[in-house]
Amino acid sequence: MGQAHDYAKVAFDLIDDLDRLTEVDRVMDRVSATLSDFGYTSFLITGVPEPPQRLEPYILLNGWPKGWTEHYTRSNYYADDPVAAWCRRTVNPFEWSQAPFDATRSPRAAEVMAVAREFGLNKGFLVPIVRNTGFQACVTMAGERPDYEPRAKRALHLVSMYAHARCAALMGCKSDGQRRRVLSERERDVLAWAAEGKSSWEIATILGVSERTVNWHVEQSKKKLDAVTRTQAVIKALRSGEI
């Protein structure tokens, strides 16, 4: 980006425009255009689950170079990706090169970074986004020679928060699990104890209600979460941040 460019103006223009965009494809185009102004040729907006969960189901907008996501998935890089690991530990934006890893201890981490460079993901910048449920998301971007000016980074910090929010709103908030809670407080209590391995009888004793009531809450939760079994309901509730 040239000297004449005003980082703040670029960021604020994008934020103003995002509100008016109602189609994900348009958001994709608009965000791509802004990021390329900062020297980033590709980007990804995604939820960042804890491994062994996989990344792919949580991707909101995929602007990576052709073939990279496929290779990343096939090689199961997510569990060893040092950038993703650091994203899950911080709320502050960082350059990819700042994500710590020990190349001798974790050769896989070094491999992820090396292969990424082969795909043109040379230098990168990541903005973590902490969701209300404690679930992490991020906007991560890369290019050959991006603009690492502090003022550019601050503008990108802002841009990323709004770009993610717009995508999440348009796509029903996949990265946040279910944004709106569907379970009642009692149903959450019951499933939380079930997640601890407690039986209906035990949960009934803990909560001071009848076993029948506990089972009824479980049945209601299963319906609401579209789950067939109790275990599936617990897993779905955990994933969506209900418990």
Partner 1 sequence: MIHVITSANRHLYKPELLAHFRLRHEIYVVERRWTNLAHPDGLERDQFDNEDATYILASENSQITGGSRLVPTTRPHLLSEVFPYLASVRGLPRAVDIYEWTRMFVVKSRRDGRTMGGQTRGMVICGVLEHCLDNGITSLTALIEMFWLPLFHSMGWNLIPLGLPELINGEWSIAVKMAIDENTLASTRAFHGIAGRVCVATQRRLVTGITA
Q: In the complex, which residues of this chain contact partner 1 (CB under 8 A)?
A: 7-9, 11-12, 15, 91-93, 129-134, 137, 151, 154-155, 157-158, 161-162, 164-165, 168-169, 173, 176, 179-181, 185, 188, 241, 243
Smallest gap from Cβ 115 to partner 1, in A, equals 31
Nearer to partner 1, 117 or 151 (CB): 151
Question: How far does Cα 6 stand from its chain's mean position?
Answer: 29
Smallest gap from Cβ 24 to partner 1, in A, equals 16
Nearer to partner 1, 115 or 165 (CB): 165
Nearer to partner 1, 71 or 157 (CB): 157
Smallest gap from Cβ 41 to partner 1, in A, equals 23
Q: CB-based contacts of 126: which residues, under 8 Å, 6+ apart? A: 83, 86, 87, 93, 94, 96, 99, 138, 139, 140, 141
Q: How far apart are CA 131 and CA 72, in angstroms?
A: 25
Nearer to partner 1, 5 or 181 (CB): 181
The tokens of 236 are what? 């779905």
Q: CB-based contacts of 66: which residues, under 8 Å, 6+ apart? A: none
Nearer to partner 1, 11 or 109 (CB): 11
Smallest gap from Cβ 130 to partner 1, in A, equals 5
- Amino acid found at 234: V
Smallest gap from Cβ 118 to partner 1, in A, equals 32
Q: CB-based contacts of 75: which residues, under 8 Å, 6+ apart? A: 115
Question: How far does Cα 228 stand from its chain's mean position?
Answer: 27
